[in-house]
Amino acid sequence: MAQSAPTSGALPSARSPVKFPVWSLAVFGVAFGLMYLPTFITLSQTVWATDEQGHGPLILAACAWLLWGMRDDLFGPPAKPAVVPGFLLLLLGLLMYVVGRSQRVIEFEASSLILVLVSGMLLLQGIAALRRAWFPFLFLLFMVPLPGALVQAMTLPLKSAVSVVAEQILYWAGYPIGRTGVTLTIGPYQLLVADACSGLNSLFTLESLGLLYMNIMNYKSKARNTILAIGIVPISFIANVTRVIILVLITYHLGDEVGQGFAHEFAGLVLFSVALVLTYGLDRLLAARFDDMGGARDGR
């Protein structure tokens, strides 16, 4: 009886996984850095230098940290480049960059950064990798400066609401306070609720922090995440009213010089402290319900 010789090696039809070409990622990273270095310089000298939108670098650093932590999941599997959608997004991103840079529209210029990054992920790894990295790219939207028209349209109503609530609380507490528009009068002092006290920018900052918190906690319940994300909106308003009340009380009891000095900066720290405590408290209340319903943290 004839004995067949043992076969060696893999079958002809079997294909080994295509390893990710590290050099292509290096080329893309160098080109991306050279292209957007002027953008980062412009942002650091303009909108990122303001109190209202100074959170931009923190958002960028958080996204880089998230992507670095996901590097094995993103670049470990075999690459399946999505050429057509990748090049279309790249062309759109480059067009927005050229328009924004030439016309000095920083919103276009910063937004193009996200499109170029997304197109790079599609061209290097494909749609599956983009789906895994959806949150860092979505989180980058908080880095884009808010359009001036939107800020102006939303700031005045928010300032008015903060002024009304702060006045009523202090009036109920027995303080001699009055209000004209967004100007609060208490004793011999008048305090104008400025744009920075409207809560608009703190709302976006706190919302971004809340989304980052939910991503890190990785709750399985979509209802829990949705409630927590929506709950940050009133939490931001409450924290901002607390900030205004503290400034009014410091000015009334200690004088205008103290109220406009260190205490003003301290009130900003109080705002975020109150917001973080309330956010954590809301999360604990949600845990009492959703943890028992299978909505606790995922195991990954």
105-135 pLDDT, tens digit per residue, is 999 999 999 999 999 999 999 999 999 999 9
- CA–chain centroid gap for 256, Å, is 34
Predicted pLDDT of residue 224 = 86
Active-site hit among 63, 179, 197, 224: 197
What pTM, to 2 d.p., does this model score?
0.73
Residues 6+ apart with CB under 8 A from 189: 251, 252, 256, 259
pLDDT class of 17 with cuts at 50, 70, 90: very low
User: Torsions phi, psi of 4, nearest 5?
Assistant: -75, 145
Which of residues 80 and 265 earns the better pLDDT score? Answer: 80
Active-site hit among 63, 179, 224, 243: 243
Tell me if residue 63 is catalytic: no
Tell me if residue 197 is catalytic: yes
Predicted pLDDT of residue 168 = 93
pLDDT tens digit sequence for 140-191: 998 888 777 777 777 778 888 888 999 999 999 989 998 888 888 888 888 8
Predicted pLDDT of residue 117 = 94
Beta bridge partners of 179: 184
Residues 6+ apart with CB under 8 A from 208: 55, 59, 139, 142
Predicted pLDDT of residue 10 = 43
Predicted pLDDT of residue 7 = 44
Place of tokens 């971004």: 208
Place of tokens 């999360």: 283
Residue 113, classified by CB atoms within 10 Å of its CB into exposed (0-12), middle (13-18) or buried (19+), is: buried
pLDDT tens digit sequence for 64-89: 999 989 888 888 888 889 999 999 99
- Residue-averaged pLDDT of the chain: 81
Rounded to whole angstroms, the maximal C-alpha distance in the chain is 113
Beta bridge partners of 180: 183
Q: What is the amino acid identity at position 157?
A: P
Find which of 128-132, 213-217, 243-247 is predicted with most confidence, using mean pLDDT.
128-132
